[in-house]
Structure formats: C-alpha cells, structure tokens
Amino acid sequence: MRGRYSRLRRKGISLLTTAALMCVMMSGCGQTEETEETMSEVIPVQVQQPVAGKLTIKNEFVGTISPEESVYVIPMVSAEVLSTNVSVGDVVAAGDVLCELDSEAAKLQLASAQAQYDSAEAGVNSAQVGYEMAQAQYESAVAQSDAQMGGQKNLQMYQLQIQNETVQRSIDDLYEQKADLEEQKEDAQEQKDDLKDSRNAANERVQAAQAAYIAARAQVTAMETTDPDAVNALITKYGDETKYKQALENAKSACTAAQADFEQAVTAAAQTSSAYEQAKSGITQIEDGEEQLDSALADAYKQLEQAEAIMNITEEQVYEDTQKVIDANKKTAALGIDSAAAGVNSAQVGVEGAQVAIDSAEYQLDMYTLKAPIDGIIEAANLDEHDLASPGTPAYVISNKNAMTVTFYVSEGIRNTLTVGQKISVDRNGKPYDAAVTEIGSMVDQNTGLFAVKASVSGADDSLLTGCSVKVTADTYSQDDALLIPYDAVYYDDSQSYVYVAVGDTVERRDIETGIFDEETITVLSGLTTDDQLITSWSANLREGALISIQQAQDPAGSEG
C-alpha cells in the first residue's frame, strides 16, 4: 500500500515521535519479549464519523476594472481647434461643449443655402401672383359670360381696369423683389471677392511654405551625406563634430517644422478654396432667382398687354364681338388657373428643396462643436488649441464610473460552473467589494486561451481606477448530498482511494469513490456511511485486521468528543 505524498510529509514528525517511543518501550526494564510484542500490536487511534453535507470550492482570479459605459468622441470634420473647455479628470454632463473647431467654411455654406432659399421663396411669391391674376381673369370671364346685355360693357370695362391695376401692382412687386436680389448679389459678390483674395493669399502661403520645406529638406540632405570628405568639411565648418551633429539635429527640427507648416497651409488653402466655390454657388443661385423674376415680369407684361387689348376691343366693338372675346377669355382663364396652380406647386417644391439644403448646412455647422454624449469623467484628451482635428481620430474618451465592471478569464471547466447573476467578491488592496456576474464569454480569447467573464461591481469608489488589477473570488465546483471527511484520512493504492475504519477493536480497509476536495476536506461518493467510525490518525502499522485501541473520538465538526 502507498499513502499520499502530502500525507506522508504531514505525518513525518508523528512517525519520528512514534519510532522514538517504540525504542524507549523496547529498552524498558523488567518486561518480557512477549509482553512487548503484544503491546506493539495494539495501535492507538482517533476516529470520526463522516458527515453528510455540501462542499463548495472557491477559486481566485486576477481581474481588470473598467467602466460599464465608456465612449470615444470622434470629430466628423477636419478643422483647426479654436478653443478647448475640458482636460483629463474633468467631470462633464451630456451636452457640455468640449471644444470648438474652425467653422468658417460651414457658415459660408449655410449662408449660400439661405440665399438659395430666399430665391426660391421669391419664385413662390411670383408664382402666387400669377395664380391670383389667373384667378381674377377667370372670375372676370365668368362674370362677363353670365351678365346681361344691358350694362355689361361698362361692367367689363370696370373689371378689366381692376385686372389691369392688379397686373401693374404685381409688376411693381416683382421689381421690388428684383431689387432685393440685386442687393443680395452685390453682398455675395463682395464676399466672393474677399474670399478670392483670401484664396490667393492662402495659395501664396502654400508656395512659400513649400519652398521653405524644400530648402529645409535640401539642407538636411546635404548635412546627412555619407561622403567622409564632405562630413569632415562640415565638421570643420561648424567647429567640431558635436556642433556639427547639433546643427544637423537643428536642421532636421527645422525641416519637420517646415513640413508641418506646409501641411497646415495646404489645409487652410483647401478650406478657403471650398468657401470661395460655395460663394460662387450662392451667386449662381441668386442669378437663377433673377432669371425667374425676369420670366415672371415678362409673363406679367404679356398679361398687361392682353388686358389692355381686351379693354380696347371692348371699347371699340359691338356687344356681340365683346361676348365672343369674353367667352374666349373665360376658356383661356380656366386653362390659366390650372397652369398657374402648377407653377405654384413647382415653386413650393423648390422652397422645400432649399429648406433641406439649409437643414443640411446647419447639421454640418453643428459638427464643428464637439459635445459630451454622456455624463462622465474625461479620461483622455487628445486635442489642444490650434491642433488639427481629423475624422477617425478620437478627440476625447469619456467614462461613466457610476457603474464599474471587472473582467477576468477562466478555463472552460470553471466557465461551465458559473451563472449570470452569481455573486462573487472583488478585492482591491485589501478592500472588498460585492459583484454579480453579468456576462459569460462563449468564445475563447485568442491571447489567453481562456473565456472572458464580466461582473458588475457594487459600491464602486475612487480606488477602483480604470485598468487596475483586482483579486476575484468565486464559488466554482460544488457537490451536494455527499459525505465529508478529512482530506488526510484518505490513502491511495495506485488509482484506488481507500480509508481505514474501526470495526470493534480491529482495522478494516474500505475502498471508496472520492469527489472534489480542498485543503482540509474531501467528498466521498460511495463506500462509507455516516455510521462508520473513520480512523483519522496515522500509524505506520495500520493495516487490514490490525488491533486498535480508540483513544479519542471526534465529533463530525472536528472537535474532540
């Protein structure tokens, strides 16, 4: 029989003590050899009854703390940073302004969209005037058709006069609208000229910055020569090798600065050029509005000429001829109403399209103000004043630390013992926190070969810093309805586990099936009952059938009985 190695180490001192006692007993005076042999065969033992119960194994893991909610604030446009309002560690609320970007180009785009909207509005007004005139013509034609022969001519003349005055007023209104557009065009032209000058200045700056960068790069290339004679000449020029190397580093720094200045100049030139093109587009929209007004004026003059012609015919011809003209005008006016209504609808569609352009421009302008999307703490700030913000590069990282998460990694076997909602404990530098499992990974992590488990930490405070390591303790394996015995009472014969039990005054070996265990206790699945007297003490002479003397009994809890 072979016992567990760990058990032999634990019982080493007892073995030495027993051997010493045996030597003393063997050397005692006045005892016969037979008496000594009889005493050596009786083994003093301690016994304990197995206990039915549950054993739970706790495992410890290393976890990492992170906020449950963390967002990256990423610019949607490329622009220079004009001002910043926050730094790392600041507490912000959702909607707080983090920084402002240069939005001049977006403002010009909005102004252009507004000019286009004003032009479309003018088109609607013109179309509405045309519709009102068509309606007046139709009503006049109907009245003429339904009137009696007597004073109809005078009535016709009066109505035609009213129509003539209405057309004249519409012409006056169109001229006022055209004057307003002309003023807008002059303002837009001045803005375009200013932007043209700015664009030329920006292009000149690009050329100057490019020349400076090329010169700086040429100087670095000349100073980085591998020609020994050239290097010696440069060392002689600057006095010694240290000064030469320092001059080379200065030249590289100047080259880097010149390159950055050149890139900034290119960006500024592109923005100015975009604003100039938008101003040109605004002028084009205004000119389109003027063309619409000119077309409306032409239509109005035609209507005025038509009204005057009708007045002349009515004045000069007999009633029968007048009636023919009125009937024809009635039919024409009815068609004119339909045409004018279609014109109003078309113009209204143009206004709606222009409003969409304004909404789009306002949305673009809003992108130049970065705001906090959540309440939290600024954990990273990557933009300073005059930096160039660019899409795709996070400007800020904001974390809401009101709720913290711990992430740890476990084997597949332990993963299968955990459940969502299970309570675990977290320890940070000796300070405990309660936590509950919220997520159990279903895919192996490629870096660790384990499964990730996440838990929500209750009562998180400032000591739980983002990214810090903590100790996580969780109940893993457990067995219910098993017998619990001391771990040191189990022996092994190859792969067969067994124990010794006291049956009367003799020893009986009992093969058992074991389950899980910790440092003190092991579970027995079969082979023992709660009535058995398990021998818990150790002796080198323990064996099947050996004589024993029970010296001490222990209760199931392990206290002496």
In the β-sheet with 79-84, what is the strand arrangement from edge to edge? Answer: 369-371, 97-101, 79-84, 388-389
Q: Which of 180, 149, 134, 49 is nearest to 535 (CA)?
A: 49
pLDDT of residue 137 exceeding 80, the answer is: no
Between 167 and 462, the more confident residue is: 167
Number of C-beta neighbours around residue 402 at 10 A: 11
Give the orientation angle of helix 152-223 with respect to helix 241-316, to 10 degrees.
Answer: 170
**Concatenated DSSP letters of 445-509:** -TTTSSEEEEEEETT--TTS-TT-EEEEEEEEEEEEEEEEEEGGG-EEETTEEEEEEEETTEEEE
How far is the first Cα of the chain from the last one, in angstroms, to the nearest whole number? 30
**Count of Cβ atoms closer than 10 Å to residue 316 Cβ:** 9
Residue 12 has pLDDT above 50, yes or no: no
Q: What is the CA radius of gyration of the chain?
A: 50
The full DSSP string for 368-401 is TEEE-SSSEEEEEE---TT-EE-TTS--EEEEEE
H or E element at residue 112: helix 104-146
State the pLDDT confidence band at 131, using cuts at 50, 70 and 90.
Answer: confident
Confidence at residue 6, expressed as pLDDT on a 0 to 100 scale: 38
**Could you tell me which residues come within 8 angstroms of residue 152 by beta carbon, excluding any fewer than 6 positions away?**
144, 319, 322
> Rounded CA gap, 25 and 35, in Å?
11
pLDDT on residue 559: 37
What CA–CA distance (Å, rounded) separates 350 from 343?
A: 11
Distance CA 399, CA 379 (A): 7
Q: Which of 486, 495, 472 has its CA nearest to residue 518?
A: 486
pLDDT exceeding 70 applies to what percent of the chain?
86
- What is the average pLDDT value for the chain, to the nearest integer? 83
Q: Residue 437 and residue 439: Cα distance in Å, rounded?
A: 6
E strand or H helix that includes residue 408: strand 396-410
Nearest to 205, CA basis, from 264, 271, 275, 273: 264
CA distances from 473 to 63, 151, 192 (A): 10, 108, 70
Rounded to an integer, what distance in angstroms lies between the CA atom of residue 30 and that of residue 38?
15
Higher pLDDT, 35 or 329: 329
DSSP 149: S
Region 329-342: mean pLDDT is 81
Closest CA to 536 of 552, 547, 523: 552
Domain locations in the chain as residue ranges: 5-49+490-554, 60-101+385-469, 105-208+282-366
Choose between 100 and 135: higher pLDDT: 100
Rounded to whole angstroms, the Cα distance separating 227 from 217 reads 18
Q: What is the pLDDT of residue 332?
A: 77
Q: How would residue 22 be classed by pLDDT, with cut points 50, 70 and 90?
A: very low
User: Do residues 147 and 343 lie in contact, with contact meaning Cβ atoms separated by under 8 Å?
Assistant: no
- The CATH architecture one would assign to domain 5-49+490-554 is Beta Barrel (2.40)
| Token pair listed for 466 | 């983002």
Q: What's the CA gap between 7 and 13, in Å, rounded?
A: 11
Secondary element (H or E) of residue 215: helix 152-223
| pLDDT score of 546 more than 70 | yes
Average pLDDT over every residue of 132-153: 70
Between 327 and 374, residue with greater pLDDT: 374
Kindly indicate the confidence band of residue 5, based on its pLDDT and cuts at 50, 70 and 90: very low
Counting residues of the chain whose pLDDT is more than 90, the rounded percentage is 36
Q: Residue 263: what pLDDT?
A: 92
pLDDT of residue 18: 37
CA distance 42 to 541: 9
Q: For 367-392, how does the pLDDT look when each residue is reduced to its tens digit (9 = 90+)? A: 899 998 988 889 888 889 989 988 98
Closest CA to 195 of 95, 104, 97: 104
For the segment 103-124, what is each residue's pLDDT rounded down to a tens digit?
Answer: 888 899 899 989 989 998 898 8
Q: What is the pLDDT of residues 205-223, one digit of tens each?
A: 999 999 998 998 988 888 8
Q: What is the pLDDT of residue 71?
A: 86
Q: Is 53 helix (H, G, I), strand (E, B) or coil?
A: strand
Region 60-101+385-469: CATH code: 2.40.30.170
Across residues 248-263, what is the average pLDDT? Answer: 91
- Amino acid (one-letter) located at 396: Y
Contact 261, 212 (CB under 8 A): yes
Q: Return the closest-CA partner of residue 298 out of 218, 410, 178.
A: 178
Q: For the segment 506-524, what is each residue's pLDDT rounded down to a tens digit?
A: 999 999 999 999 889 999 9
What is the model's pLDDT at position 145? 66
pTM exceeds cut of 0.85: no
- Output the pLDDT for position 251: 87
Q: Check pLDDT > 50 for residue 29.
A: no
Q: Indicate the SS3 state at residue 429.
A: coil
Least confident range from 10-19, 70-79, 378-387, 536-545: namely 10-19
Assess whether pLDDT exceeds 90 at residue 154: no
CA–CA gap between residue 259 and residue 216 (Å, rounded): 9
Name the token pair of 21. 């006692």
Q: Beta strands 376-381 and 51-73: pairing type?
A: unpaired
Q: Looking at residue 315, what is its pLDDT?
A: 64
| More reliable by pLDDT, 143 or 66 | 66
Give the pLDDT confidence of 377-431 residue by residue, as tens digits.
Answer: 898 888 899 899 889 889 899 888 778 899 999 999 899 989 999 999 999 999 9
H-state helical runs in 239-374: 241-316, 319-366
> How confident is the model at residue 24, as a pLDDT?
36
Residue that is written with structure tokens 């592109």 in the block: 270
Pair 371, 76: CB distance under 8 Å: no
Residue 229 or 437, more confident: 437
Give me the residues paired with residue 198 across strands. Answer: none
Q: Read off the tokens for 45.
A: 């033992």
- Per-residue pLDDT, averaged over 496-502, amounts to 96
Residues in the chain: 561
Cβ-proximal residues to 509 (8 Å cutoff; 6+ apart), any chain: 498, 499, 500, 543, 544
pLDDT tens digits for range 467-482: 899 999 998 888 888 8
**Mean pLDDT within 331-344:** 83
Average pLDDT over residues 166-174: 88
